[in-house]
Amino acid sequence: MKKAAGRRRMVVILYGKGGVGKTTVSSHLAAQYARDGRKVLLLGCDPKTDTSTRFLDGKKPPTMLDLVEGRLARRFSELLTRTPAGVDVMETGGPEPGVGCGGRGVATLCQFLEEHPRELSSYDAVVFDVLGDLVCGGFVAPLRFGKGNCVFIVSSEEPASLFAANNIARMTRRPYYDAASVGGVIFNLRRNDAPREHLVAFARRLRVGIVGALERDRTVMEAEERGMTALAYAPRSPAAKQFAEIAAAVERACLAKKAVKASPMTNDEFWAFVRRHRIASL
C-alpha cells in the first residue's frame, strides 16, 4: 500500500500501567487506520513481543533482539513483518527474565529507525505500544529520539493505574521531552459501572482531554482468543464501533495544531485526590 496522498503523518505513542490494555488499544488503532487507507507501522516496545499477536495468528516475528545478537543484518525489511490486515509491525523483543534491560531494546529500536529515515517516512501512521510505568529511561526513548509528538495515556479507573497515568504526565513536562504533546487519556474500564465523575475529575485536574472510555466487552476477549482484533472478528459489533470511535478521536487530537501540556500532580497531591474522590481498588 502506498502512503495515502494528502494526509498528515501521525506519530502516536501509548503509555500506561502494565496490564491496563495498551496493546489491545494500540493494535486496534493500527487496524482501524489500515482499514481507513493509511499506511501503518505498529511498533511493539515490550519484551513480551505480544503487540503483533492479533495480526500474525500467534506466530513470533523477528525482533530487535535478533538483530542485536547478530541473527539479522541491519536491513529495515528484515525486521519488518507485513500482516494480512495491512499493518506493518516491528517488535523489540527483550532479554530473559533477570538478565539485561528491556528498555534498552526500545532505545535500540529508536536508533534503528533514525538510521532508516526514508523507510520510516513512507508511513503516515506510526503507533508505538510502550511498556510500563516509566521507571526506566529506555522506555521514554520514543520521545527522546524525537519520534513522539503525541502521547496518549491508557488507564483504568483504579488508583494504581491513575498513579501511573499521572507519572506519565509528569514525564512529558520534563524540558528534554518538550516536543511531546499529551493527546488525552483513553480509559479502559475494569468495570462498566465505574463512576465516570472520577475519570472526568482526574482528566480535568491534569488539564488533558478524555479521548474515550472503552467498556469491557466479551467480543474483544473472544477475538483475542482467536488471535484477532475485534474489528476483524466482529466488524459490526459494538466493540468494533467503540474502537473506531477511539481511533477517530485519537486522530483528531494528534493532528490538532495546538500542543497540550499536562499539569500533573505531585505524589502527595495525587493521593489526596484519591482520598477526596474515594477511589478504591477493585
Q: Which long-range contacts (CB under 8 A, 24 or more apart) does 135-140 make?
A: 136/101, 136/102, 136/103, 137/103, 138/101, 138/102, 138/103, 138/104, 138/105, 138/106, 138/107, 139/15, 139/45, 139/102, 139/103, 139/106, 140/171, 140/177
Grid cell listed for 120: 520510516
Assess whether 133 carries a catalytic annotation: yes
Contact at 8 Å (CB) between 51 and 89?
yes
The distance of Cα 35 from the centroid of its chain, to the nearest Å, equals: 18
Assess whether 48 carries a catalytic annotation: yes
Contact at 8 Å (CB) between 150 and 118?
no
Question: Which amino acid is present at 13?
Answer: I
Question: Which amino acid is present at 52?
Answer: S
Sign of the dihedral through C-alpha 187, 193, 197, 198: negative
User: Within 13 A of 282's CA, how many CA atoms are on the CB side?
Assistant: 11
* Collapsed DSSP state (helix, strand, coil) of residue 136: coil
Q: Which of 22, 88, 129, 147 is catalytic?
A: 22
Burial of 222 (0-12, 13-18, 19+ CB in 10 A): middle
Q: Which of 3, 36, 48, 50 is catalytic?
A: 48
Q: Which of 46, 124, 133, 217 is catalytic?
A: 133
Assess whether 2 carries a catalytic annotation: no
Task: Report the catalytic residues.
Answer: 17, 22, 48, 133
